[in-house]
Amino acid sequence: MKNTLMRWKLPAVCLIWQLAMIILFGIFIRYNEESDAHWIKTKIALNISSDLENDFYFRYPSFQDVHVMVFVGFGFLMTFLKRYGFGSVGFNFLIASFSIQWALLMQGWFHSLDYNDGKIKIGVESLINADFCAASVLISFGAVLGKVSPVQLLIMALFEVTLYAVNEYIILSLLGARDAGGSMVIHMFGGYFGLAVTRILYRANLDQTKNGSVYHSDLFSMIGTLYLWMFWPSFNSAISNHGDGQHRGAINTYASLAACVLTTIAISSITEKKGKINMVHVQNATLAGGVAMGTAAEMMLSVYGALIVGSLTGVISTLGFIYLSPLMEKYLLIQDTCGIHNLHAMPGLIGAIVGAITAAAATEEVYTKEGLIAAFAFEGRFEGRIPTIQGGYQAAAFCVTLAISLVGGIIVGFILKLPFWGDPSDENCYDDEVYWEVPEDEPLYSVQSTNTPALKASSNGDSQ
C-alpha cells in the first residue's frame, strides 16, 4: 500500500503557499482606480457623472454567475462518483481557492501591471479572469479525478495557472486573438493539459470498481450541470465589450446550449440498444454547446449560426463519450475520469475553429466600421488589421494553445509522478476514505427508528 498520509504534506503546502500569497499580494496587488477610494476624484477627472459607470455595475452580476459555475458548477458536476463526493466538491473548493489567488498575481504581471509604480491594479474584471483561470485548472482536475492526492492537485494548479497566464499573454496580447469565453484559453488549454497529465499518470491496474454513480450521486451531479448550463451565457459574455458585445454573447450562448441539449439526448438514445438515455451524456455533453461558443459568442455569428454550432457539438461530444473515450483509454492509455476530452478539449477546439472562421468573415457592412474596430480591438498595435488576417491569428492562437498545453501537461505529469506526493494506490482510487473523514452510513431513516439500540452503538463516533 502507498503512503497516503497527508498530515504534514498537505498543511505544509497550504500554509506555505498561502503565506507566499500574502507576501506577494503585499508587494504587488493594489485596488484599481474603480475600486480605490480615489474613485470620487477619478469621476471628476474623467467627467463621469454617475457611479454606475464604474465597471462593477457592468460586470458584477456576470462575475457572480461565473463564480457559481466555478465552485458549484464544477464542484457538483464531479460528484457523480458514488464514493467521491467529498473529494469532488472539497478538492474543487481547495484548488480553485488557491488558483484564483495565484491567477490574480500571474495574470496581473502579464496584463495589468502599472509600469509607473510596479503594482498590479485589480478590479472586478480581474476577479472574473482569475475565476476563468481556476476553471481551466478544474477542467484538468476532471481528467485525474479520484486518482491523485490533494498535494498533487495543488502542485498541478501552481504550474497550470502559470502556464495559463503565459499562453493567455501570447495569444491575446501578442497575437491579438479574441477569445472572450475562452474556447482556447480556458477549455482547450485545460482540456489538453489535463489529458497530458493523466496520460503520464497512467495506471495499468486501476481498479474501476468505484468509478461509477449511484442514483442520488447522479442527481447531485445534475446540480452542477444545470448551474454550468444556465450561467454559461454569463461566462461567455462576462468580459466582452460593454453594450452589444455582452448582450450578443449571452444570446448566442443561450441559443447554442439549447440546441445542444436536443442533439445530445437524441444521440444518447439512438446509440443505446434499448433507446434509454444515459445520464453521463446529459450531465456533460449538454454543456459542450457553451464551450464551442467561447470564442465566437461576442461576434456577429448570427443566432442560427449558434444553433448549428450547438447542435453539432452536442452530437460530437456525445459520440465522444460513447466511442472515443474507451478507445483513448485502450490505445492511448488516457484515463479521463470525467471525459474532459469530450466536454472541453474537443468542443474547445471546435470553438476555436468557429471563432477563426467567424472572425475572418467579418465585414464592415455587418459590424459598421467603428463596430468592427471595437469588436476585434483593431487598435493600438493591431490598428489596421483586417478580418481575414485576424482569422489567421486566431488559427495561430489555436496552435500555440495546443502546443503549450500538451507540452506543459507532459512536464507537469512527470513532476506529479514523483513518488512522494501521497497519491492513492490503484485499489483506493475514487474513494473518499483515503483523504477524508467519512461518516458511517447507517440504514436510512425509518429503519433506524425501529432499531435504536444498535444505532447508538455504531454512531457515537461521528457526532458534530
Contacts of 185 (CB under 8 A, 6+ apart): 132, 136, 164, 167, 168, 171, 172, 179, 401
Q: Bridge partners of 30? A: 121
29-31 vs 119-122, strand pairing mode? parallel
SS3 283: helix
Q: Which of 35, 111, 202, 203 binds a second copy (CB under 8 A)?
A: 35
Q: Which DSSP state fits 170? A: I
**Amino acid found at 228:** L
Q: In the bound complex, what is the minimum distance in angstroms from residue 354's beta carbon to a second copy?
A: 15
Task: Please report whether residue 111 would count as binding a second copy according to CB under 8 A.
Answer: no
Q: In the bound complex, what is the minimum distance in angstroms from residue 393's beta carbon to a second copy?
A: 20
Distance CA 335, CA 225 (A): 22
Beta carbons of 54 and 202 less than 8 angstroms apart: no
- Grid coordinates belonging to 1: 500500500
Residues 222-261 that bind a second copy (CB under 8 A): 222-223, 226-227, 229-231, 233-234, 242-244, 246-248, 250-251, 254-255, 257-259, 261
Which listed range, 109-117, 182-190, 402-410, 445-453, lies at the site for a second copy (CB under 8 A)?
Answer: 445-453
Quick note: the x/- pattern for a second copy over 112-141, rule CB under 8 A, is ----------xxx--x--------------
Distance CA 281, CA 342 (A): 10
Residues 49-108 that bind a second copy (CB under 8 A): 50-58, 60-62, 64-65, 67-68, 71-72, 75-76, 79-83, 85-86, 89-90, 93-94, 97-98, 100-101
Q: In the bound complex, what is the minimum distance in angstroms from residue 211's beta carbon to a second copy?
A: 4
Task: Please report whether residue 273 would count as binding a second copy according to CB under 8 A.
Answer: yes
C-beta of 338 vs 402, nearer to a second copy: 338
C-beta of 347 vs 408, nearer to a second copy: 347
Beta carbons of 145 and 194 less than 8 angstroms apart: no
Q: In the bound complex, what is the minimum distance in angstroms from residue 438's beta carbon to a second copy?
A: 6
Residues 293-312 that bind a second copy (CB under 8 A): 300, 302-304, 307-308, 311
Reported for 60-63, long-range contacts at CB under 8 A and 24+ positions apart, including other chains, are 60/124, 61/234, 62/128, 62/234, 62/235, 62/237, 62/238, 62/246, 63/124, 63/127, 63/128, 63/131, 63/238
Task: Please report whether residue 262 would count as binding a second copy according to CB under 8 A.
Answer: yes
C-beta of 177 vs 279, nearer to a second copy: 279
Task: Please report whether residue 269 would count as binding a second copy according to CB under 8 A.
Answer: yes
Q: Which of 161, 188, 270, 429 binds a second copy (CB under 8 A)?
A: 270
Distance CA 243, CA 241 (A): 6
Task: Please report whether residue 419 would count as binding a second copy according to CB under 8 A.
Answer: no
Residues 389-418 that bind a second copy (CB under 8 A): none
- Grid coordinates belonging to 259: 440546441
Q: Which of 46, 327, 388, 462 binds a second copy (CB under 8 A)?
A: 462
Q: How many residues bind a second copy (CB under 8 A)?
A: 165
Rounded to the nearest angstrom, the gap between the alpha carbon of residue 367 and the centroid of all alpha carbons in its chain is 30
Quick note: the x/- pattern for a second copy over 136-165, rule CB under 8 A, is --------------x---------------
Beta carbons of 267 and 400 less than 8 angstroms apart: no
Task: Please report whether residue 170 would count as binding a second copy according to CB under 8 A.
Answer: no
C-beta of 356 vs 434, nearer to a second copy: 434
Beta carbons of 103 and 134 less than 8 angstroms apart: yes
CA distances from 419 to 95, 201, 382, 423, 425 (A): 21, 11, 48, 8, 11
C-beta of 36 vs 426, nearer to a second copy: 36
C-alpha distance across the termini of the chain, in Å: 31
Chain position carrying cell 425509518: 446
Which listed range, 170-178, 276-284, 385-393, 412-420, lies at the site for a second copy (CB under 8 A)?
Answer: 276-284
Task: Please report whether residue 276 would count as binding a second copy according to CB under 8 A.
Answer: yes
Q: Which of 372, 395, 402, 416 binds a second copy (CB under 8 A)?
A: 372
Most distant CA atoms of the chain, gap in Å = 81
C-beta of 66 vs 352, nearer to a second copy: 66
Q: Which of 190, 194, 294, 339 binds a second copy (CB under 8 A)?
A: 339
Task: Please report whether residue 383 would count as binding a second copy according to CB under 8 A.
Answer: no
**Amino acid found at 116:** N
Residues 174-213 that bind a second copy (CB under 8 A): 208-213
SS3 183: helix
